[in-house]
Chain A
């Protein structure tokens, strides 16, 4: 069981908007530690998608955005495209015995 909780799967049709949640606790997200998001396409290494809760590295389309509220963060993808079908992981620092760095369990995004 992961310290950061993500839904196992989400889906959406091309052009739609989907969100992926990442829920933590007072030892990670709730303590103010930044959350980062990664996209993992099949058979490849993960790629940084969002850092510091809501910042996009250069080259990441603005269809991807991140937000934070309390002990949860969310990744939103608008204008869904077939190429967005991938696994998405959140990551944060954790000050408890689970840390120091923890990943969410991952969410499989299916584009219908």
Chain B
């Protein structure tokens, strides 16, 4: 069974760093693109970027380029989303999502989401 299991909720202060994770199982993790999607409270889905764990090829949405870092460790089937200095506006639910084949294709599996709260 394919599963994407994300790390737990986080509460952080502005200026702190954070790295959340998404562990894939039940399939060949290096062979599928993993995307990150943001959903701010009461708002819609925003595609942030994507990584191919097999070779760490990474693409970012222009809105998120330079704001976050996406990485992956194929040896432990885990993708990451990282901030170096959080802002209150980073408070949101973050989903990881699998694109089979290429990012032209739809997401077929989603993680359960990681809620990030940034507050002083």
- The number of residues on chain B lying at the interface, defined by a beta carbon within 8 Å of a beta carbon of chain A, is 21
B113 touches A45 (CB 8 A): yes
B35 at the interface (CB under 8 A from A): yes
**Size band of the interface chain A makes with B:** 20 to 34
Residues of B within 8 A of A47 (CB): 110
B83 at the interface (CB under 8 A from A): no
Residues of B within 8 A of A112 (CB): none
Given contacts A45-B112, A97-B62, A98-B62, contact A103 B45 (CB under 8 A): yes
B107 at the interface (CB under 8 A from A): yes
Chain A residues in contact with chain B, CB under 8 A?
2, 33-34, 36, 38, 40, 45-48, 51-52, 57, 87, 89, 91, 93, 97-106
Q: Please, which residue of chain B has its CB at the minimum distance from the CB of A103? A: B45
Shortest distance from the beta carbon of A88 to any chain B beta carbon, whole Å = 10
Q: Please, which residue of chain B has its CB at the minimum distance from the CB of A49? A: B106
Residues of B within 8 A of A103 (CB): 37, 44-47
Bound: A38/B59 CA distance, A? 22
Q: Mark B14-55, 1 if CB is under 8 A from A, else 0.
A: 000000000000000000000101000000111100100000
Interface centre among B45, B62, B104, B112 (most CB of A within 10 A): B45
